[in-house]
Amino acid sequence: MKVASNLPPVIAIDGPTASGKGTVAMRVAAQLGFHYLDSGALYRLVALASDKEGISVEDPSALGHLATGMQIIFRDGEVLLAGKDVTELIREEKIGTRASQLAVYPEVRDALLVLQRSFREQPGLVADGRDMASRIFTDAVLKVYLTASAQARTERRYKQLIAKGISARMDVLLQDLQERDARDTNRGTAPLQRVEGAYLLDTSDLSVDQAVTQVLNWYAKLHH
């Protein structure tokens, strides 16, 4: 799909859960002065809103309908749903699991497709998710597949939760992470995959700074 080159440039960063792609994408966007799209947050918002409204995670058409009408604002690291700050609520483990379950439905993914593309504004966008390069922004100027070992990702998730004062167990987190990976890579619609031409970035042994620098270097090379 060739898209008119006058569209703002997109850096698409895909990868599995807890790989650190959100932190890296946000920092890259800040460095470049670009907009930032956390597409995973959109699925978490559908999960939260449907949970609140008592919509079953097994009702694709109701979920898709709900996704189409959500009033969402991303502002200074905050996420607002219908004017309410839900930044912390959508980060809860149960919401993450629910988001992964409803993300398998084409009805939900299609409803969010247009919304995600609307974030593409000047001077540019850094988008992170599972299908940014493969489906949403196939013409991205830079595609990155950011991953880390399951062990490294579980440890990161564990530290995040403990830092927030939430009790967690490594074995439970690892199992949940492996189940999410399986769901994300095996689903029929827009599965998680490294697309052709995407740079592989394994952050198992990298600091956030090192990962950010690598992405910025790749972008600079392509841009000059």
Average pLDDT by stretches of 10, the chain with 224 residues: 71 94 95 94 96 96 95 85 94 91 93 93 96 95 97 94 91 93 89 94 96 98 82
pLDDT of res. 37:
93
Query: 10-219 falls under which CATH superfamily?
Result: P-loop containing nucleotide triphosphate hydrolases (3.40.50.300)
Edge-to-edge strands, sheet with 199-202: 35-38, 125-129, 10-14, 142-147, 199-202
Beta pairing class for 78-81 and 72-75: antiparallel
pTM of this structure: 0.89
Give the rounded distance of the alpha carbon of 84 from its chain centre.
Answer: 21
d(CA 15, CA 30): 20
d(CA 107, CA 103): 9
Angle at which helix 21-32 crosses helix 208-223, to 10 degrees, equals 50
CA torsion angle 98 100 106 107 (round to 10): 20
d(CA 128, CA 83): 24
Most distant pair of Cα atoms in the chain: their distance? 51
H or E stretch at 79 = strand 78-81
Residues 6 or more apart whose CB falls under 8 angstroms from that of 148 comprise 18, 19, 20, 156, 202, 203, 204
Domain boundary assignment for the chain: 10-219
pLDDT of res. 1:
41
Name residue 125's beta-bridge partners: 10, 35
Tokens at residue 207, please? 């600091």
